[in-house]
């Protein structure tokens, strides 16, 4: 792909199944995105309130809820736990078990 838009990032995020998570880098790699994970983070940060994009399913490379401040308080954790994902000290427990890799799942 030559030019990636935030909408391209959001399209991938919408495909993350309930009860699974991915990280910024995996999305960037799938999209062959120059600027990588940081650009995915900018896209996620630019989401308008009330968006249908399940941004709570995107975490950092070690499973830490780095965007929790954008969600306000414990909302990100609450959304993940409602999908059956255990979170302890702002980090996903068993991260590798719930990790969704778009390169493996969508290719």
* Per-residue pLDDT tens digits for 62-92: 999 988 777 778 999 999 999 999 999 999 9
Q: Which of 72, 4, 88 is nearest to 38 (CA)?
A: 4
Is residue 57 within 8 A of residue 21, CB to CB? The reply is: yes
Which fold does the domain 6-99 belong to in CATH?
Answer: Arc Repressor Mutant, subunit A (1.10.10)
pTM over 0.85: yes
The pLDDT value recorded for residue 100 is: 97
Is residue 59 within 8 A of residue 65, CB to CB? The reply is: yes
The pLDDT value recorded for residue 107 is: 62
Mean pLDDT score of the chain: 91
Is residue 102 within 8 A of residue 12, CB to CB? The reply is: yes
Over residues 5-17, the pLDDT tens digits come to: 999 999 999 999 9
């Amino acid at each position: 792909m030559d030019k990636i838009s935030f909408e391209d990032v959001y399209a991938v995020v919408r495909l993350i199944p309930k009860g699974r998570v991915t990280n910024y880098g995996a999305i960037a790699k799938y999209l062959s995105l120059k600027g990588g994970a940081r650009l995915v983070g900018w896209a996620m940060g630019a989401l308008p309130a009330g968006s249908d994009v399940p941004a709570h399913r995107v975490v950092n490379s070690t499973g830490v809820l780095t965007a929790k401040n954008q969600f306000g308080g414990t909302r990100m954790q609450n959304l993940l736990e409602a999908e059956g994902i255990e979170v302890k000290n702002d980090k996903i427990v068993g991260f590798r078990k719930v990790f969704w890799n778009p390169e493996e799942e969508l290719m």
